[in-house]
Amino acid sequence: MTPTDTKSTVLLKHHLKALRLPTVAAECEKVATRAAAENADHLGFLLQVCELELIERERKAADRRLKAARFPAEKTLAEFDFAARPSVNRPLVLDLARGDYLGRRVRFWRVTELITALREADQDRHLLRLRQQLAKLDLLVLDEFGSVPASKAGAELLFDVIGTAYEPTSVVLTTNLPFENWTEVLGNDRFTGAALDRLTHRASIVETFGESYRLQDAKRRLKP
């Protein structure tokens, strides 16, 4: 490497840092060496480093979105045993997994935690702010609906979230309760009927039957 090459490399990396292209700065020398060996032209070299920068940015953006969603654990559909759950509509699940209804802003909430957050925000006069945050989501995941009955105030706040999400926001809701028992959570037929009307309109329903994975795992661990 000549002194001119060294100076050019230092200046190039300085400019790339200023332009906020860290992956190009990190990979440019390696890619330049490979491009020279492959007799690639300047545009070919530029294409390669730009692709690396784009891939890394997309990876980091996906990581940020996953972190912002606050899922309790990272799981993939590949881990799901369809053979152990023959009642599950596999073609439907795989079609939903394509994510045509998904956006970039996703948030996972256990229903009990969401109700608690809503009530605390209401008491602290921050409810409007939380509602606005929820309204900006592309997908709202409500987990364990019905695990604990909601108070009257909690049911009203939860219904408001469901009503606001209707149409502009996709909603995924998990529950062990059949529809006819939803009054146990929402407290009265009026809220229940209105919530079901909004949640089931144009919805895809995936039903599972049989013992839970957790129970099956516990039984396996108890066996000698």
| 92 touches 132 (CB < 8 A) | no
Among 19, 18, 43, smallest CA distance to 31 is for 43
Place of tokens 């939803």: 182
Q: pLDDT of the chain along its 224 residues, tens only?
A: 455 567 888 899 999 999 999 999 999 999 999 999 999 899 999 999 999 999 999 999 989 988 999 988 888 888 888 888 888 889 999 888 888 767 789 999 999 999 999 999 999 999 999 999 999 999 999 999 988 888 889 989 999 999 999 989 999 999 988 899 888 888 888 888 999 999 999 889 988 877 676 666 667 777 66
Q: How far is CA 150 from CA 18, 83, 184, in A?
A: 53, 35, 8
- DSSP string of 79-132? G--GGG-TTS-HHHHHHHTT-TT--S-EEEEEHHHHHHHHHHHHHTT-HHHHHH
